[in-house]
Structures are given as structure tokens and as C-alpha cells.
Structure 1
């Protein structure tokens, strides 16, 4: 949608004929805030907002009363009108100055033309948008105002949590880490134990463990049972695993780095992080050898990983098990994948998923349990409304024909 968006009888009235300087002058004269919707022509959520939010009468009533509104196109297309082109330089400057990194981004300015709030989002409901706009009028809720107060050492601890969360939403990672560390270290960890161990506090910490040396990470590592008692089963392990992965395993690729030092990593994981470190390591090794098509080692680390992480897997079990079925011939690995991993997954998560039933049936068949395999493949055929692939697989099973590729790796 271009800048020529016409004013509507209902909904938000976006300015179409003013320059940026004229918009600021109008805001100053009317004592209204400025709302800029930074969008791109290809952005799906932006189009959704145009249709479902900006045309809303209740959104229009609130926004038109309090804001001078502008739509700012952030991309450049061959179909852009002269009016859009006249805003190219302004759009580029605004996006650079205010660090617009994704679409849509909402920018809110005071009547004096000073940025006071910023919100990066996807498609939001009309009621949510109104709440965002209301916050932009409240100095205690304005992201940019709060950030300035924080940098000046004047922001109360009670507003730091929201500041860190909004910084994350705005993809300002450095700000989020800085503020969250300050809040956790200098406020939360000064609370008494019974005050610290609440759902709100631990949830915030789980989102901002930040690095393996932080106080929050150490707390989760040393006392996961107590954390899980409040947050829920395995929540501490999920958070720990994520931070360990980012600290040690980003960029691992069998093509770019075929001689990765797994031995040193093994020692590090075991000595620093114990069981959760080894679980993380085995998962990364499993994926590494899958990508490398090293089926012997893939099977080895599939087993080691799921022996530890079956009930809290980082990876989608059916997707990771299918290439094992097709390519691994080690009977012990196949039996473990069939009788332990897929059996549990089908019972716990895949009760109505014919694709997973097909994987389970194929494993049963490959491990010599033909009758059970046929029973499960029949269920997959029925549940999938006679999917041709499943029907063909069922026929092979009944005729004792292999359902896996002939060139499977030897153990």
C-alpha cells in the first residue's frame, strides 16, 4: 500500500499530502503525537494490519483523536509513485536513525517531534494495537523514554523488566541483555529465596539467562528441580540447553568444518555442565553426522541423545527418525529407535498422525515385526484417507519386499 492511502470514513486517517516536516509542524500545532507505520510492500503482516486493524472504527476513533498518522514505505519497488519516491530520502533517514530492522515497526513521536516509543511486531488484533498506542502516550510505558531514563540511571527496577522485553521485541539484543542482567543481578538476586522463586521471576530469568557465566544460568544449573517445581517439567533444562547451544555450537557444519574438535567439547560439556551439557553435545553430534550422511555415527549419537532426551527432545522425533530408518542397518540402533523412541513418541505425541505411524510401521517391519508393522501401516492408510505412498508401503510389507533403500549404510 503506497503513501496515497486515502483517508477513510472510518479507520485510521493517514496523511497523504504532507512532507515529514509538515507532519511534525501539524503535530506541534495540534499538540498530537505522531504515529508512523513503517511497512514494506511485500510484508504479509503489514497487509493484514491494513485490512483488519487500520480500517477498524474503534482503532480509527482512538488513533485519529490522539495522533497524526503516516504510513512509511521501507522498501523500493518499480511500481512506486512519485509521491512515494519523494519520501525515499526521508524513509531511509528515519529507518537508519531509529534502527528499524523489520516490518512492521511502529514509531511514536511526541508533539515536539521526539521519538518516545518504538514497537516491532507482527500482525496484532485491533485491541492489542490500541493498547500499544495507549502505552505510547504514557511516559512510564514509552520504550525510548524508559531507555533514556535507564541510561541516565534513573529508571526504577520495577520498569526494567518491561524495558528488556520490549528491547527483545525490537530486536535490540544488546539493550535487552544489558537491562536484563542489571535487573536480575541487582534486583532479583537481592531478594529473599521465597521472593526470588516465583513464576514471574523465574520465567523472566529463563528468557534472559544470556550466557553460561550469568548468575541466572548458574542458579538454573545448580537447582533445576526447584526451578521445574515452579515453572513446570524440564523448563530449566530447556533454558540451559538453549544457552549452551548458543555458546558452543553455533556454526557447526560438516562441510565448512569437517574436523570439529568433539573431544575437547566432550570434556568441556562434562566438566562444566554435567548431564545437560552431554545431552546438548549428543544432540549436536547427531545432527552433524546426519548432515554429513555418516550413518554409522548418526545412529550412534541418535542412541546416545535419545537415551537422555527422549522426554524433552530438542528435535522433531519423526523427522529425525525417518532418515535413520532409511539409512542405518545396525540392528541395535534400529531396535532402540523402534521399541523405545518411536513407540514413546507415538503414544505421547503422535496419537493421530499417520505420517509418524508410517515411520513406526516401517521400523517395526525392518526389525522383523511384520504383523505389528502391517497393523500400524493399515492404521496409517486409513487415517490418511488411502494415501498412495502408505498404500504402496503396505503392499510391499504384505509381499515381504523391503520398504527402505537398497543402498543403506552398513554398520
Structure 2
């Protein structure tokens, strides 16, 4: 299915596993408050058999930002660790070390974090991915325990052709969550099974909410034709979030052309749906950078900097990064991008992405000495992230040094 436009490059990561097996019940270290046991995979299977539990594996890498966020913000919540400690044999495995690469290939781990739920026979029972709330994370664990919700059970039912539409929806949602290649197939089959009355139900709303990402989607027209029905059923705020998402994707397309009237009509609609100015600021600023209007780009970015983004270095840096794309030749826009990124850098000087971007923008406007200085800082910062990131930082630094 169509995925939402990626506005920021995301890094990913999960756990470290030793080669030596530990004692079956040894608890080595607590990451947050979930009790992650340090053992090889065979020992985890033994534990699962003896304690009659599923294994939960947090698949991570050392450079994965969402993984670190889950460690810091979700695994430490009492309701989370109490549920997982009671229900599972918990393990954290670094997918780039030890048994990690082999297990990643075996269980189809393609992004981080990935959460695997495995039985004592080494069979995958359930799987989920990405950063999520505590409630969502607990629900994934509950789904793994419940045979009617677990991905493995649903997959068997689908292949046997013995699923209800509700079960097929659950299966589709699970596949979509892990970006499985069968998602489109199951989605198409479900749509052939259901009628308009089903689509107007709470189950139908779950489908629309999960898959309508722009106004070209086949279900968007159905949503639009029945908007008041869904508002009465679900609530205006939830319905508006789907409209905002669809409009945001559409307006990004419009911002790349010169249809100014259409763009501002869409921007006004987005303002009415947006609770914060972040998306509006990004899109509004990008429009002038894309249409090479330096004067309005400067005025618009200064307006958002002065009034809304004083404490939002991530958005500030993103606006600068977008404006200073590789094919950007307008020096006035590039200089404003440097001014913007400097604001983000002063708020958060320890952000690798901001430092690296700042160095590249300075190089683009001819401030080579300072660009090299920041490029070298970025390389040092990359040391603490991963070898891949460090290699990229070194390549960027070399490009800055070679630039005229």
C-alpha cells in the first residue's frame, strides 16, 4: 500500500546478543525496566519451553534512533514492563552482531525496531515494527498471546481460506504494520469481500484510517461522500486527521509546481486542520524555495522563526535542509538556509543531522573554512552512532574540502 511521504530520514536500531549462553534464568541487565536476558537463541528457546512462554525479541541496531526512543520512553513504563516481564522471555538482539544477522534473515527483519514473538519451537508467532506508544506496544504483546490476533495464526487462516472479514482486516493491519509484501493482495481481497455498509462500520473506518493517505486513493472519495457519517460515528478530530494527512500529501505535490492559486487554497485548508504550525511552516517555506522566490522565502521563514519555531530545532533544520537541496542555485535562498540552520544549531548543537547539514550549506555558499570545521565535528559525532554514518560523514567532509 502507499506509505506516507517520508519527511525526515529516519535511523533505526535494537539489542546486543552475546555468543556465550548464560544460565537459563540469569538476568544480566535491565534496559529500562523490561528484564532482557542475555543468552544465545537456543538458550532462549529452552527458557521458553521450561516457563511455557513466548520469546519476545527486541531487534535493534546501535544506530537506531527509534529503538533508543523506545528504550528511554516506553520500556521504562510500569504497565509496559510489568506486562512483558509477566508474559514473555524477553531478549534484546543487535541485528548487526553475533547471531543478529542470521536471526534477522531467518525471521525477515528488514527495519528497526522490529519486535519478534517466537514460540519454544523457534516458530514466528507474531511480528511488529517501529516506534509506538505504550498502549500500542502492550497491544502487540496481547495480540501475540491471542491466537485469534497473532500474525502466524492469521496467516494460516488466510491460506486456508477460512477467515471472516474482521479477521482479514486484523491480518491486513498486521501485514501493513510490518510492510509485508502480501499487504496489497490481502487489501484487494478484503475490498472485494465487503460492501458499503461494512465500509461505513467501525471496522470500515479502521481500514480507511490505515490506508487513505492522499486524495487519489480509491477510498478517499468514499470517505468524502460519507464524511458526516464518519464524523457522527468516530468524531470530527479523528476524521480530520485523515483529511489533513491526505491534504498534506497533495499539497506537497502542488508545492513543486507554479499553480500559486491552487497551492494557497490548499494551504488555507491545511491551516484549518493543523493543530500546530509545523506542517504549514514546512510546506509554506518549501513552496518559495521550490519556485525560486528568494524574497518570499526569506520573509516567510523569518515569520515562522520569529513567531512559532523558536524552540523547534528539528523543524527549523528540516526547512533549511529542504531549501538547500543539491540542485539549489539561488544564492539568496542558500544564504537564508544558512541563517536558518544556524538557529537550529544554536538550540541543539549536539544534533548530528543539524551539524552535517550546516556544514554542507556553508560549503554551498562558499564559507569553506567554517564548513570544514563543522564537517570535522560531524565526523567525530558520527563515531558514537555507527560506522555507516561515520563513512557518510567522512564522504561529506571530503566533498567539502574538494569544493571550489
Question: What TM-score do you get using the length of structure 2 for normalisation?
Answer: 0.53
Cα drift, residue 287 of structure 1: 0.8
Q: Is the 8 A contact 1:28 1:113 kept in 2?
A: no
Q: SS of the counterpart of 1:71?
A: strand
Equivalent runs, 1:5-16 vs 2, <5 Å: 6-8=28-30, 11-16=33-38
2 CA distance for matches of 1:47 and 1:240?
A: 30
Alignment of 1:117-136 (within 5 A): 117-125=126-134, 128-136=136-144
Alignment match, 2:193: 186
The answer for unaligned runs of 5 or more in structure 1 is 77-84, 246-279, 289-297, 356-411
Question: 1:213, 1:128 → 2: CA distance?
Answer: 29
Structure 2, gaps ≥5 residues long: 1-14, 19-26, 272-278, 311-404
The one of 143, 148, 168 aligned to 1:160: 168
Distance 1:215-1:7 versus aligned 2 partners, 3 A rule: closer
Q: Could you say if the C-alpha distance between residues 351 and 168 of structure 1 is closer, same or farther in structure 2, counting changes exceeding 3 Å?
A: farther
Q: What is the root-mean-square deviation of aligned Cα atoms in Å? A: 4.4
Note if 1:319 corresponds to 2:285: yes
Q: Is the CA contact (8 Å cut-off) linking 2:115 and 2:127 kept in structure 1? A: yes
Contact kept? 1:45, 1:123, Cα under 8 Å:
no
**What residue number does 1:287 align with?**
256
The 1:311/1:54 distance shift into structure 2, 3 A limit, reads closer
1:114 and 2:123 matched: yes
2:211 is the alignment partner of 1:208: yes
Name the counterpart of 2:158.
Answer: 150
Query: Is 2:212–2:242's contact at 8 Å kept on the other side of the alignment?
Result: no
Return the alpha-carbon distance in structure 2 between the equivalents of residues 25 and 350 of structure 1.
57
Distance 1:315-1:178 versus aligned 2 partners, 3 A rule? farther
Deviations for 1:245-296, whole angstroms, at most 9, x for unmatched residues? 7xxxxxxxxxxxxxxxxxxxxxxxxxxxxxxxxxx6x9746514xxxxxxxx
* Residue equivalent to 1:176: 183
Asked whether the 8 Å contact 1:46–1:123 carries over to 2, the reply is no
- 1:139 counterpart SS class: coil
> Structure 1 residues 151, 11: CA separation in 2 closer, same or farther (over 3 Å shift)?
same
Equivalent position of 2:16 in the other structure: 2
Structure 1 residues 75-94: aligned runs within 5 Å: 75-76=96-97, 85=98, 87=99, 91-94=100-103
Deviation at 1:327, TM superposition (A): 3.2
Relative distance call for 1:302 and 1:199 in structure 2 (3 A) is farther
CA distance in 2, matches of 1:32, 1:9: 20
In the TM superposition, what whole-angstrom CA distance separates every residue of 1:102-139 from its partner, at most 9, and x where no partner exists? 211110012332111001121533x5433332321111
CA-CA distance at 1:38 after TM superposition: 0.3
* CA displacement at 1:152 relative to structure 2: 1.9
Q: Which has the higher contact order (CA 8 A, sep 6+)?
A: 2
Task: Identify if the C-alpha distance between structure 1 residues 55 and 3 changes in structure 2 by more than 3 Å, giving closer, same or farther.
Answer: farther
Q: Counterpart in 2 of 1:73? A: 94
Asked whether the 8 Å contact 1:224–1:237 carries over to 2, the reply is no
How many equivalent pairs are there?
A: 273
Choose 1 or 2 for highest CA Rg: 1
Relative distance call for 1:121 and 1:321 in structure 2 (3 A) is closer
Corresponding residue number in structure 2 for 1:40? 61
